[in-house]
Amino acid sequence: MAKDMTLYWGSGSPPCWRVMIALEEKNLQGYNSKLLSFEKGEHKSKEVMDVNCRGQLPAFKDGKIIVNESYGICLYLEDRYKSKGTKLIPDNPDEMALMHQRMFEGLTLFQKMAQSLFYTRFVPENERHASAEERNRGELREEVQRWENYMKCDYLAGKHFTMADVIVFPVIAFLFRFGLCEEKYAKLAAYYKNLKDRPSIKSTWPPSWKDSPGMDTLKSL
């Protein structure tokens, strides 16, 4: 089954990573794993553009079926392979509701993170303002604090690992990779450390992170 699947991905990208975690959790190992380099522009190659006309990673094929957008791929895998591997959408209505909410609040966390960390990548030089950079950093701080306050259980939506963790864990890992303070955000750090060794996460850890040190951009956040 998984041998007919192909995933195009880039190392360290939270959207790519979450799909790899979902594939592991659904026991869909053995897919064709195509690691591409953003730096070399390989995500704009014809091979990728044929699958994803946006030239974005992840791009995914399941046999002849194409599905892109990281949230879309994760939910497709759960809907299509419901009975395989980990059940990622809980039946319990409370957990189901919280899972859906956290999953989509994850979009805001990612957006605030990208907006602050990649300001100079997204904004042309002549349009940059110190006031905007400061505001973005303030918004990221507020958002991260919100998630710190959310942490009451072992997982994002309660006592069980769910799709919310598949989706949001890579973003939280990214924050720590960029130096987020483990003492100030102690609950998020505990969550991060707890999940780091989960097989689906350990086996998909970004290869580019293994041999290089992290950054300290968010040390004082």
Q: Which residues bind a copy of itself (CB under 8 A)?
A: 53, 62, 65-73, 75-76, 79-80, 89, 93-94, 96-98, 100-101, 103-105, 107, 124, 126-127, 129, 131-132, 146
List beta partners, residue 6.
32, 61
Minimum CB distance to a copy of itself, residue 213 (Å): 33
Pick the closer one to a copy of itself by CB: 7 or 177: 7
Distance CA 51, CA 61 (A): 7
Q: Which is nearer to a copy of itself, 24 or 105 (by Cβ)?
A: 105
- For the bound state, the minimum distance from the C-beta of residue 211 to a copy of itself, rounded and expressed in Å, comes to 33
User: CB count, 10 Å around CB of 221?
Assistant: 18
**Smallest distance from a copy of itself to CB 130, Å:** 10
Cα first-last separation, the chain: 44
> What minimum distance in Å lies between the beta carbon of 186 and a copy of itself?
21
Look up residue 20 and give its two tokens.
């790899």
Nearer to a copy of itself, 19 or 176 (CB): 19
CA 136 – CA 153 distance, rounded (Å): 29
CB of 1 to a copy of itself, least distance (A): 12
59 neighbors 52 (Cβ within 8 angstroms):
yes
- Comparison of 25 and 62: residue with beta carbon closer to a copy of itself: 62
Judged by beta carbon, residue 39 or residue 79, the one nearer a copy of itself is 79
Cα(108)–Cα(181) distance, integer angstroms: 20
**Do the Cβ atoms of 73 and 9 come closer than 8 Å?**
no
